[in-house]
Structure 1
């Protein structure tokens, strides 16, 4: 076994042979082949114990070994994630057809006969290093392709996030109550998704897309959006159109983030029992992102002070959600939110609204 640092183009040849004379012969033959270096074991159990740490390109194992035979050893090696595709060769004096078939079906790619013939040994090793080199190039190509795909995906996500951010800015010009509300609501959504056990990608997309839930309000007349008193039935019907307007603005994109935003905009006013709008969806017909957003949106609306209403306490709003779980809201989403009360308070403190202006006389 060599301790000399290897070049990237060199090959490590694994040798497993319990007979010291045969092992020494194979080591010397390997070292005589340009660019090849031997890594040898006399006990297959020692090799199995070292599979996490060793690196090799080609394996040559004797069939008759202590503790387990060469075929069983190849199976063990190929079960390890780092060595599943390593070319392995069986060395045997046995001409039995069944053994050779079993070896091939177990992952061996070739055989060497005992006693070893020098010319044949070197030729087989050279051929196997060509195979290993081809695998190495394929692996490098696969890694390069993965890096390129990851880079392109990251760039697309950045562009999608920039579009989302600019759309949110546009909606804030229309709805003066939007800025802190959207940040709190988005973080509440993330809390619920986390408690539900959703993936990191799901939570990220939800948090990024949730602030666009009311993007459709850009299509609602200012006289309604800026009204400080109760809405008439006609005005309420008009403002309810913001869900369909928002979906219309966002739909049709190939960007995953905007697809999630479309679902949220379209369904965050749907209700668990089918009494919501715009389509009267019920239960699991409502996308999960819409069910989560519904809980987060209503809670923040209830606990936020506006010129036309006082803020509820958190406990009042939590009780409201509990009362409406199973009718207005998905019970699992409500339970998930209620399990994060301390985190809710932290989000409210971090993204608090500026104090409401006090009216002065004179």
Structure 2
């Protein structure tokens, strides 16, 4: 049997949850939805006001009598920081409790396993706080996404051919004065998409960046696999004895679908590549068509295995919405099962999804523990 304290905590969490989800709700509606008395609701609201987690957000229209006050969630009561480390860049984002990006920045800085590099991460964290005008007491934590497979302990790396840095958790920890977590970049990007698309329970997140990764999300959770390397779609085989992959094998999806297949035509500028496609540049249009052919085969394979929505993310995913009709047609022609390809969807976060997902870990933890 639950104690009085446990019941009180559960009621408070439920009251906050409904305000958080509705964004704007009356005291009477909270009472009706939760089946709690008005005095109980009033007591919980008072405690949440004291914690500055809720606020008065105007009033509701009235058909007669006094207008009911609209109670809203204070999304700026706390913040979280996300850092995304890649081989050649560092990104930083500041998000509020609704996962909205308050500030973001991306710097070209080649990764190196050194104190000098880790100090740059520290500087970036304080830069993000300064630009967002946020003090240290408001920061829930710092999530760092990395292109590595992380062991079940959340600290050790089991596979990290892109950046190496097998001791990055401990090495970087010295420079972060907040609660801190490292997360696989594709898993964090997938989690950001799942967090936004709350109605989708199962999905595949396909990250199309300078390396190919992904995440399998089942029943609103990341499926990590028995050995923590679920979602490594970049190392499925597309061509036997095909192009060389950075993993040492040949013919991997990564060798055909990573963003550099496109951006190498424009000196590493992916945005410029898609500008030229729109302008009708023959070489870029031809390269995109070839790229989409390999991508269609990859998506079809994933769909046949897991039979769920496929979200296109990463660098290329942010540009693919304009080309979805053509890609869906290519996939539906190849697919054994009748489909119009509508299961292929564009990402919500066009930029910095991995950094956002890393930060969301602390937002979810905070909301869950209130």
TM-score interval, smaller chain? under 0.3
What is the TM-score normalised by the length of structure 2?
Answer: 0.27
With a CA cutoff of 8 Å and minimum separation of 6, indicate the structure with the bigger relative contact order.
2
Instruction: Say which one has the larger Rg.
Output: 1
The structure carrying a bigger helix percent of its residues is: 1
The structure carrying a bigger strand percent of its residues is: 2
